[in-house]
Structure 1
Amino acid sequence: MARIEGVPAGQASLMTKLAYRFGPKMMEKLTGRAPQTGTGLEPMTIWAHSPKMMMAMGKFNGPMRKGSSVPQRLQHLVELKGAAMIGCEYCTDLGSQICRNSGFSDEELLAITHYSTSKLFTAQEKAALDFTVGFMRTPVQISDLVFATARQHFSNQQLVEIAGLLTVVNLDRFNAAFGIGSAGFSQGMVCVPPERSAECLSELHGLTTDGIRPGQ
């Protein structure tokens, strides 16, 4: 359950009500499946506390994902890896199903966490994933070698578009901050798990970074 309640349809602005109405159809088109444990609109209902920001996000997100010269498979791949790195449960649940609906196998989804040693991804895909890992770190850590390798596989336009897409993915920290969990798009199926740092896992379980509970 999210840390704050979303705005119910009865209290929403006119534009927000329209977004609530058409949102599920758009989500089902992307995923090929209705969410099993939620509405799928959980992030939108939280953003709806600030309707202007919610609309601005929609206007920003659309163009960043459409008309790209980057193959769709690659877009989905880097977006899912980026979502896993920021620990967004909603995003990895949704992203796993979007990938599956677009042709990814369960084996490929499971291999994303260890992509560098997997034979399921091409050299181009691994270059994009290396770029993604460096981009999503805080601070950004893209080495000259990683960038040079990416340039061997992508045009300047494509690099800009990949970076732009990952910038959008970074905005999904919003979901993680508000504790927006899985909506069940991938329920009962393979789902890429959110990645957790040692510090984050320790905080979740009330442990210090060496695995000891405070006071022990």
Structure 2
Amino acid sequence: MPHVDPLDRADLPQFEEKFARYDEIRGFLPNSILTMARRPNIAKAFMDLNQAILYEGTVPEDLKMMVALMTSMATGCRYCQGHMANLSHVYDVPDKKIAAVWECETSPLFTEAEKAALVLAREAAGVPNDVTEAHFAALKPHFNDAEIVEIVASIALFGYLNRWNDTMATTMEAHPAAVAKKAMPAWDEGKHGASE
């Protein structure tokens, strides 16, 4: 059960244009945003930042979704894991690759560029942060400086979301839960389940 209930979408007409984008890409509106909307400026700032980081730039969206999934796996936020398994699926990442994200270093499913970005995400999400110069050296053959900023921004965005959703115990929506359970059979909603 969430610690703060999300608002009803119908009570937030000022965000309908932004909400429609979530409907178009994900097929639903996340409860996390409906909770943030209790402070409209926070919700607006988040949606604008989310758009700039995940949907703009030159790093492929599928990689950014997997980076966010790895970040969420490293922090343990099951709400964000479910959402990012769903968005990885939306951007055509096969289920077997979604399931193998944590083992990216040893899996033949990932390119060297993907491995470098995913390992950076895992190490950056830890507390304390374990990123070293070697992690950036692994990125540089594959990404320019602007793309590295984009990858780190994806990690940092989920630093916020992982803390937000795990702290709020945001209730998982049915659609991303179903996708995550199919792609990662051992996954469950944990405290984000509707009945908990």
Tell me the TM-score normalised to structure 2 length: 0.82
Q: Specify which structure has the higher proportion of helix.
A: 2
Aligned 1:161-172 pairs, distance under 5 A: 161-172=150-161
Structure 2 equivalent of residue 190 of structure 1: 183
Question: How much is the aligned-residue C-alpha RMSD, in angstroms?
Answer: 2.3
1:179 matched to which residue of 2? 169
Decide whether the 8 Å contact of 2:54 with 2:61 is kept in 1.
Answer: no
Counterpart of 1:84, as a letter, is M
> Residue 176 and residue 71 in structure 1: after superposition, are their counterparts in 2 closer, same or farther (change >3 A)?
same
- Note closer, same or farther for the CA distance 1:191–1:180 as it changes in structure 2 (3 Å cut): farther
Aligned partner of residue 67 in structure 1, secondary structure: coil
Q: Who is 2:22 aligned against? A: 27
Task: Give the CA deviation at 1:185.
Answer: 2.0
One of 42, 50, 63 as aligned partner of 1:53: 42
- Is the partner of 2:100 in helix, strand or coil? helix
Counterpart of 1:111, as a letter, is A
Q: TM-score, normalised by structure 1?
A: 0.75
Shift of 1:150: 1.4
Q: Percent identity?
A: 20
Identify which of 58, 62, 68 aligns with 1:69. 58
Shift of 1:189: 2.1
The answer to which of 184-193 and 155-164 deviates more is: 184-193
Q: 2:141 matched to which residue of 1?
A: 152
> Structure 1 residue 126 and structure 2 residue 115: aligned?
yes
Distance 2:40 2:111 in 1: 42
Secondary structure in 2 matching 1:116: coil
Deviation at 1:142, TM superposition (A): 0.7
Contact conserved, 2:18 with 2:47, CA < 8 A, in 1?
A: no
* Structure 2 runs not aligned, ≥5 long: 191-196
Aligned to 2:102: 113
From 93, 99, 102, the counterpart of 2:82: 93
CA contact (8 A) 2:55 2:61 kept: no
Matching residue within 124, 129, 154 for 1:140: 129
Q: Structure 1: how far apart are the matches of 2:30 and 2:146?
A: 32
- Structure 1 residues 107, 70: CA separation in 2 closer, same or farther (over 3 Å shift)? same
Q: Aligned pair 1:18/2:14, yes or no?
A: yes
From the superposition, tell whether residues 44 and 133 of structure 1 become closer, same or farther in structure 2 (CA, over 3 Å): same
Tell me the number of residue pairs that the alignment of Structure 1 and Structure 2 aligns: 184
- Check 1:21–1:90 CA distance in 2 against 1; reply closer, same or farther (3 A cut): farther
Where does the alignment leave 5 or more consecutive residues of structure 1 unmatched? 35-39, 197-216
1:18 is aligned with what amino acid? Q
